[in-house]
Amino acid sequence: MVDPLPQFPDGFLFGCSTASYQIEGAVHEDGRGPSIWDTFSHTGGKTLNGDTGDVACDHYHRYPEDIALLGDLGVGAYRFSIAWPRVQPTGSGRPDKAGLDFYDRLVDALLERGIVPLPTLFHWDLPQALEDKGGWLARDTASYFADYTSHVVTRLGDRVRRWITLNEPVVHMAQGYAYGTHAPGRTLLLDALPVAHHQLLAHGLATRALRAAGATEVMITNNCTPVWPAGEDAGDVTAAAVYDAFHNRLFNDPVLLGSYPDFLAGALGDVVRDGDLETISTPLDALGINYYNPTQVGAPSGDSPLPFELREIEGYPTTSFGWPVVPAGLTDLLTGLREIYGDALPPVYITENGCSTEAGIQDQFRIDYLDAHLRAVHDAITAGVDVRGYFVWSLLDNFEWAEGYSQRFGLVHVDFQDLSRTPRASYHWLRAALTGS
Ligand code: FCB
């Protein structure tokens, strides 16, 4: 038995998050073009067991059932992502009507249940045709993204007022372009840096397009992590500061302050053109934060090509993924953002937080995890941080990128043989907390 959750401010939005490639399936339907994740997951050895998102949770067909689950859960909002290759199969040109129709139906079904739709325009499934032209290493991808955004908001903007431009540009840059563990599988290490700038430029251009179409709340979702130096000596402390710059400040500073951390501005050189930072810092209505765990960083060993080294955090419980569970890290992160950015910090939403557990239905581990992290958010609010909402990752077990179907993050269990959904104990716990029943 856990204590009741603390009282959150009036209007605080509880929700669940998902992403298109992780749940939709139906990859060949209604004109959808291939994305970099189709290519990557169908390339031998890239995902665990060769898993792909071809079917995933078949949400494309089963969305009414999933929205019913959200409705019964009692959440006020649903964060999902729109698959660019459904809207523009080759990433540019005329939009595909049938692809947009799907999101139209989804939005209407959410509104019928009184659930606020919060779409993310890019959660990593770039049209393969754009990757063939350079992907996010190419500056033009930012303009293509702005065009795509305009098509989506033209279709949905009469009912959707809140938008997220990008999901976790840092993870897409690092895993996708620096280390190659995610699509598109490039291994450029520090040469991946232009990917950060072009994504941020895309964010800025899209923000302007959304505003022009009457959006009332526009945000970007950044993955943020408190960075812990592995030791007290200068090498570790410097490496931690450098990592903090790459992971956190590279994406928060330009958006909130209109500048890059000095040494990264130097490294970006003429990738940044006149006027770009003004575009990127177009004022935001809110900042989305995804939090999973802190990161421990030490000085690199002599022959490392990177200026930092990630070290394992010991002494905490871990999720099935092996990620340490540190709820206080979320409070520290939020109060830290407030200290760094002061009044430049807009209201914050936790747009993802959650854990992977064993497959079973009795997931007390997830209940404890969510309970502790919600309390950590409440502590940050008490300390003066304007946090407006919290979204659980995730509603359903789904395709967890390179880990395939092995990591289960769902409040709802999915049987990947027959695709049946079964709410877990954590679902019932959250429903009781939200609805009292
Ligand atoms: C985040 C991603 C999300 C999911 C969770 C576990 O980095 O945004 O799609 O994979 O991690």
Q: Which H, E and C letters describe 300-321, residue by residue?
A: CCCCCCCCCEEECCCCCCECCC
Pocket test for ligand 1, best of 17, 396, 401 (most atoms within 8 A of CB): 401
Residue 367 has pLDDT above 60, yes or no: yes
d(CA 410, CA 400): 11
In terms of C-beta density within 10 A (0-12 exposed, 13-18 middle, 19 or more buried), how is residue 354 classed? buried
Number of helices (H), then strands (E), belonging to the chain: the values are 16, 13
Kindly report the protein residue whose alpha carbon is nearest to atom 10 of ligand 1. Answer: 400
Residue 337 has pLDDT above 60, yes or no: yes
Residues pairing with 350 in the sheet? 289, 390
Task: Give the up-direction half-sphere exposure of residue 296: CA atoms within 13 A in the CB hemisphere.
Answer: 12
Pick the atom of ligand 1 nearest to 22's CA: 9
DSSP 125-139: --BHHHHTTTGGGST
pLDDT in tens, 199-246: 999 999 999 999 999 999 999 999 999 999 999 999 999 999 999 999
What pLDDT is stored for residue 380 in this prediction? Answer: 98
List active site positions.
Answer: 168, 352
Residues pairing with 228 in the sheet? 296
Q: Which of 305, 4, 300 is nearest to 178 (CA)?
A: 305
Residue 2 has pLDDT above 80, yes or no: no
Give the chain's domain count. 1
Q: Is the CB of 352 under 6 A from ligand 1?
A: yes
Cβ atoms of residues 88 and 95 within 8 Å? yes
Q: How far is the CA of 3 from the centre of ligand 1 (A)?
A: 29
139: amino acid identity, one letter: R
Q: Is the CB of 401 under 6 A from ligand 1?
A: yes
Q: How confident is the model at residue 437 (pLDDT cuts 50, 70, 90)?
A: confident
Note whether residue 345 is domain-resident: yes
Note whether residue 111 is domain-resident: yes
Q: How far is the CA of 234 from the centre of ligand 1 (A)?
A: 33
Note whether residue 7 is domain-resident: no
Cβ atoms of residues 97 and 139 within 8 Å? no
Q: Is the CB of 397 under 6 A from ligand 1?
A: no
Pocket test for ligand 1, best of 352, 356, 366 (most atoms within 8 A of CB): 352
Q: Is the CB of 168 under 6 A from ligand 1?
A: yes
Cβ atoms of residues 291 and 351 within 8 Å? no
Residue 331 has pLDDT above 70, yes or no: yes
Note whether residue 2 is domain-resident: no
Note whether residue 1 is domain-resident: no
CATH number at 360 reads: 3.20.20.80
How crowded is residue 297: how many other Cβ atoms within 10 Å of its Cβ? Answer: 26
Mean pLDDT (the chain) is: 98
Kindly report the protein residue whose alpha carbon is nearest to atom 9 of ligand 1. Answer: 19
Q: Which two tokens stand for residue 391?
A: 């979204």
Q: Is the CB of 171 under 6 A from ligand 1?
A: yes
Pick the atom of ligand 1 nearest to 171's CA: 7
Residue 298 has pLDDT above 60, yes or no: yes
Note whether residue 8 is domain-resident: no
225, 406, 184, 96 alpha-carbon torsion, rounded to 10°? -100
Domain that residue 170 falls in:
13-435
What pLDDT is stored for residue 158 in this prediction? Answer: 98
Pick the atom of ligand 1 nearest to 354's CA: 6
What pLDDT is stored for residue 398 in this prediction? Answer: 98
Greatest alpha-carbon pair distance for the chain in Å reads: 59
d(CA 401, CA 310): 21
d(CA 154, CA 206): 13
Q: Is the CB of 390 under 6 A from ligand 1?
A: no
Q: What is the mean pLDDT of residues 247-269?
A: 98
Cβ atoms of residues 373 and 293 within 8 Å? no
29: amino acid identity, one letter: E
- Per cent of the chain over pLDDT 70 is 100
Note whether residue 360 is domain-resident: yes
Q: Is the CB of 356 under 6 A from ligand 1?
A: no
Residue 16 has pLDDT above 80, yes or no: yes
Residue 317 has pLDDT above 80, yes or no: yes
Q: Which two tokens stand for residue 211?
A: 């505003």
Cβ atoms of residues 290 and 225 within 8 Å? no
Residues pairing with 221 in the sheet? 167, 288
Q: How confident is the model at residue 63 (pLDDT cuts 50, 70, 90)?
A: very high
What pLDDT is stored for residue 3 in this prediction? Answer: 75
Note whether residue 49 is domain-resident: yes
Is the backbone peptide bond immediately before 420 cis, with ω within 30 degrees of 0?
no
